[in-house]
Structure 1
């Protein structure tokens, strides 16, 4: 049997497509599908391209996901299969702060897993959110924002340690190096935005 044909007949092919359509496929979580994805990635790319999607695969970081492919000049635009997400100001801010922390972590630590606590995130977040006398309300809202970041797949809540989170490395793809290069200015913008909100609820 031709090895390439055997690869194409893999029972994991459909499972890979379904997993990617549902979200991010991680090497550490999808230990059975990951090797098959590496083997079948050319076929997966060709199939997804027909749907207007692009396979983003980072073998070094161990994740893969689909994003909407840019429409070429003269090409008819296809309906979006990957929806755009409108993120709130606090959620965007958390992602920015986590991305900076991940960049610093990568230059200083030998470990590949960055774990942060709820308190650490809250401490950074307080610097940019409007002042409020009701600390409990702010922290309650922060938990809502953290839950959204977990839902988006950028944080993973550690089992048995509800106040500890692993920062998922796919955040590096979402907030790229070019975006991070303007980080200081963006933080100033966020701080100004937070001040402008005054006592309004974030």
Structure 2
């Protein structure tokens, strides 16, 4: 889930369209600005293709579906993989998105452990309630460019999960649409079957 662009290179963060003051952020400059207290609410920001984007406040529907997805994955995939909810990943030199759910390799052993990188990520999930265009557009392209092999978009209003696979620099070559009566298996664990209805929080 993502919303408005936030673009000033220094000072107060504002929401709105890109302007002539556009500044191409890197993870390094973004993290430095966060440490300096430049942003009022850094936890609501993510870095997408060098642009700072502010995440919308969550509706109860969005929050609940995120919880359903995380719970399903945690029950099926732990302890082999770790489930992260709404936490950043370091995906490119100018990309630090905050996916709704990420399934990553390894355990958290140290508070100073680096953020997960593409090689650590086995599955990303975005829940789309009001952010369908972005989650299927720029977010999908960002994840494909980084080589994320398994990306699911949970389109709540349509009651489907779009499974994106075969990443290329131009986007995902394969996108399958699965409804509430169907099942899906993460690429990292083909023997694990999840009910799409459980991810959506509805009965089949």
Q: TM-score by structure 2 length? A: 0.27
Q: Decide which structure has greater helix share.
A: 1
Larger relative contact order (Cα-Cα within 8 Å, sequence gap ≥ 6):
1
Q: Where is the strand percentage greater, Structure 1 or Structure 2?
A: 2
Question: Which entry has the higher C-alpha Rg, 1 or 2?
Answer: 1
